[in-house]
Amino acid sequence: MSTRKNDRQGSRFDRAIVVFKKHGGILRTGQAIRSGIHPSTLYSMRDDGTLEIVSRGVYRLADSEPLGNPDLVTVATRIPLGVVCLISALSFHELTTQIPHEVHVALSRGAEEPRLDHPPIRTYRFSGEAFTEGVEIHKFDGVSVRIYNPEKTLADCFKFRNRIGLDTAVEAVRFYRERRPVKVDDLMRYASICRVKKIIRPYLEAIL
């Protein structure tokens, strides 16, 4: 009887592992259940070490390769509609000397405030095109992470200059000029969307 029970558990684990691997080895609890993994199977796999907890409600196969960017992967998994922005986006695009101690995340107005044990996050509310435009999808460890492109990030930095510091925004413009082809039309379009066209223009003129 015990052997039969172990066999059944083994086959359930095997099926669940296949599901996890289809999703890059990481799933939220809700995703796992919707994909056909029974909650008891999920918790048994956690208890016996087949799964490890990435964050509350997020599991990954314990024998997976170490996560290359665990903070962004966790945030993208827990907050799939959020967009990595501001200091975190600058850091990703190598446009700042700032070291983000929190993941900066843009949320649409009205979205529920997320609760994460780890990593620490800082949220910002965006609306309309200021939220939807300029989003790039980058893959980390099989997980799709939404990050604003460099030009949209620069516009956002001037929009939120009182929260992140004008010096950070100005430094980002300088690095952008040094390290990337300058897309003036894109910059001004995003500046217009973020309503900072008049503010950002003198800094752009200074580097062009």
For residues 120 and 103, is the Cβ–Cβ distance under 8 A?
A: yes
Give the residue with greater pLDDT, 151 vs 31: 151
Per residue in 90-148, pLDDT tens?
A: 999 999 999 888 999 999 998 888 887 778 999 999 999 999 999 999 988 778 899 99
Backbone angles phi, psi at 80, to 5 degrees: -65, -25
Per-residue model confidence (pLDDT) at position 7: 47
pTM given for the model = 0.75
Domain segments of the chain: what residues? 2-61, 70-207
**Beta-bridge mates of residue 107:** 125
The yes-or-no verdict on residue 17 having pLDDT over 80 is: yes
Per-residue model confidence (pLDDT) at position 67: 62
Angle at 86 between CA 82 and CA 92, to 5 degrees: 90
Per-residue model confidence (pLDDT) at position 3: 45
Tokens at 134, concatenated? 């300029």
Per residue in 32-89, pLDDT tens?
A: 898 899 988 988 988 888 888 877 778 888 887 766 678 898 899 889 999 999 999 9
Average pLDDT over residues 142-170: 95
